[in-house]
Structure 1
């Protein structure tokens, strides 16, 4: 066994009050790898660590342990190897350096075997991925179980023309795919995001749905874009499709996007039907509050869109029917122009009237559903 990791570290560390004990543990871990004493590294990310799992292999000696507000770090060693465990919430990163690739793989397997906690499958849930750029790990994907109703349950939330268009979309199979872009546009609060959750459930047998939490960064960072384009299989069979969801992308796809967003629009289009998308079973779903007339013509050209659906408010008869016979006193609060889904939910809760004096879809309006 060689000297302690801090003796092998080939650089001088300058630590100030902006560094945490976990940062020091991270730096100490790199010592033997940096000097070449342990030149091989293997790592694994675990989204949900089983309760009680230590992530330590047999005969491990713990050298350092640190816990911050949202993260803990553990440094351990054994004969010919060093291990770093970074834990946050239910997730963890486990990295091993060793004198050989075979030893690194063996120790990592011993540390993580049986550590993944598989949630009890729920019939109303669907697994959805979430991509974002982490300051610590760079482009990163995590998964969550998202509740989603069946299309039959949520269909009354949409006006008749929208529901008819959604009928066809929900029944789409890989054999039906002609375009790679799915565009939902319309005023805030009309249920665009709710429809996408239901779509994820309807397609879960053949398509993995991933939501990009920072789409404004995605198309300005080529490395981030490539990581997402390549994707993660998440244990799925070869040939499984992926749907990347980009919410509230008004600036990216409106008519003047070529001038305001630089290469971002071009990269989006390249992902859907250009060289970047070739050989990848990737669909891109975009929600926007913009009117169709304000969208860039390259986005809505024929053949590019798998579906292009304007999601509007329910008509007054549809809104009254949505409220049901058990709420006749609420009918008078529905304007003659109808109501959005967000307004109806607020009306049912008694938090705000359904009629809004300002025009829907203003520039400062937010996406409620």
Structure 2
């Protein structure tokens, strides 16, 4: 239609404020933050079809001096919350949202063409990834959780882990022997998809898993599920993890999912107290859900073996089933370098570290260190 005589021409579409392009009205109240408003404004041009193409990327570690904005970007809104910042910017034919938290960021670009969205995103993020110096004693571990903002989400961290030779004497002889075999396993040796470590608190189950992650890092990606109680009661979350998010493109790489302190899930009365959760765990290890996926599941529990559900410990299901107990009196004395404070029944790893630090029943001088770290030995 021709222009109405005498009407003033409006600004070009790409110069309009994004809020003018929203096809709906939004109602905000005191529960919404400025960052929420920025998120809503960003969606306007994409929702209206003005900029129908989108590209996005997540960067886990952003360099401190990276702006994540391409050249000639005009900042329209900037909001900072206690744990997040959001920046809305635009340029000729494109709009960008940069959401930053801690060291990471989500960057999303909408544009009038797919090529433009991809190019602008590349300009904004080029060289922004901060790669820490590789440390031989560290291992990359993934952490899964359900985020209120993103849904099922995986992030990675560098975790310190000693070699098995360094931490082996932290375990009583039968456990050390079983762990010797486990540390040497390769993909060709896998028979059974469930790894079960059970025993009293403070005996070193978590420390053993960190060392296992280091021993297996050439062929196995290790992910810790921070909310296992939710995992097996949320089918969507379970499917996201079962499908997985693999590092690199190496075919045949395995994944080990770690579920810590899952007492209620695998004890004998689990079918009554946990509903379908136990069935879904077993289905992930050797049922239809696990078929075609190179997935192992590692579970730690403080329960006695006799109290575990028979379906969990049946022959053929477990790759390894190791009861991690106290060191004997002799082993504990050798570890500590003195008999002072050591019970006749022996001691857990946690008790020995407490004695070494002087916070147990006796204060002793520390002997030679056993492994690179004294923490995380639950």
| TM-score for the superposition, normalised by structure 1 | 0.93
User: What residue in structure 2 maps to residue 341 of structure 1?
Assistant: 349
**Distance in 1 between residues matched to 2:38 and 2:343, nearest whole Å:** 61
Which of 261, 278, 281 aligns to 1:248? It is 261
Structure 2, unpaired ranges of 5+:
1-11, 363-375
Q: Is 1:82 aligned with 2:90?
A: no
**Quick one: which of 219, 235, 247 aligns to 1:206?**
219
Match of 2:175 among 144, 162, 173: 162
Structure 1 unaligned runs (5+)?
355-366
Please name the residue that 2:155 is paired with: 142
Matches within 5 A, 1:108-119: 108-119=121-132
Task: Summarize the alignment of residues 275-314 of structure 1 with structure 2, pairs less than 5 Å apart.
Answer: 275-314=288-327
Give me the whole-angstrom Cα distance separating, in 2, the residues matched to 1:28 and 1:40. Answer: 16
Q: State the TM-score, normalizing by the size of structure 2.
A: 0.91
SS of 2:176 mapped into structure 1: helix
Q: Report the alpha carbon displacement of residue 57 of structure 1 after superposing the two structures with TM.
A: 1.4
1:117-160 CA-partner distances (Å, limit 9, x unpaired): 11110011000010111111111111110000000010000000
Q: Tell me if structure 2 keeps the 8 A contact 1:343–1:353.
A: no
Aligned counterparts of 1:25 and 1:272: Cα–Cα separation in 2: 43
Mapped partners of 1:36, 1:219: distance in 2: 39
The partner residue of 1:352 within 320, 345, 360 is: 360
Q: Secondary structure at the match of 2:75?
A: strand
Counterpart for residue 73 of structure 2: 60
Report the alpha carbon displacement of residue 236 of structure 1 after superposing the two structures with TM: 4.4
Deviations 1:168-225 (A, max 9, x none): 0000000000111100000000000000000000001111111000000011111111
**Residues 62 and 74 in structure 1, CA contact (< 8 A), matched pair in contact too:** yes
For the 8 Å contact 1:82–1:98, the answer to whether it is kept is yes
SS at match of 2:71: coil
Q: Shift in Å at residue 368 of structure 1?
A: 5.4
- In 2, the alpha carbon distance for the partners of 1:13 and 1:254 equals 49
Alpha-carbon shift at residue 102 of structure 1 (Å): 2.2
- 1:1-369 paired onto structure 2 within 5 Å: 1-2=12-13, 3-324=16-337, 328=338, 331-353=339-361, 369=378
| 8 Å CA contact 2:99, 2:105 repeated in 1 | yes
Q: Are the equivalent residues in 1 in contact too, given 2:207–2:377 (CA < 8 A)? A: no
8 Å contact kept, 2:84–2:99: yes
Residue range with higher mean Cα deviation, 14-23 or 86-95: 14-23
Q: Is the 2:205–2:377 contact (alpha carbons within 8 Å) kept by the matching residues of 1?
A: no
Contact 1:127 1:146 in 2 (8 A): yes
Task: Please report how far the alpha carbon of residue 85 of structure 1 lies from its aligned counterpart in structure 2 after TM superposition.
Answer: 0.3
1:60 is displaced (CA, Å) by 1.4
- Which range is displaced more, 10-19 or 110-119? 10-19
Aligned to 2:372: none
Runs of 4+ aligned structure 1 residues displaced above 6 Å come to: none
2:49 and 2:262 mapped to 1: Cα distance? 46
1:30-65 C-alpha deviation (Å, 9 max, x unpaired): 111111111222111100001211111122111111
User: In terms of Rg, which structure is larger?
Assistant: 2
Q: Distance in 1 between matches of 2:270 and 2:67?
A: 50
Pairs aligned (count): 352
Distance 2:301 2:27 in 1: 47
Aligned to 2:3: none
Partners of 2:340 and 2:246 lie apart in 1 by 51
Partner of 2:66, secondary structure, is coil
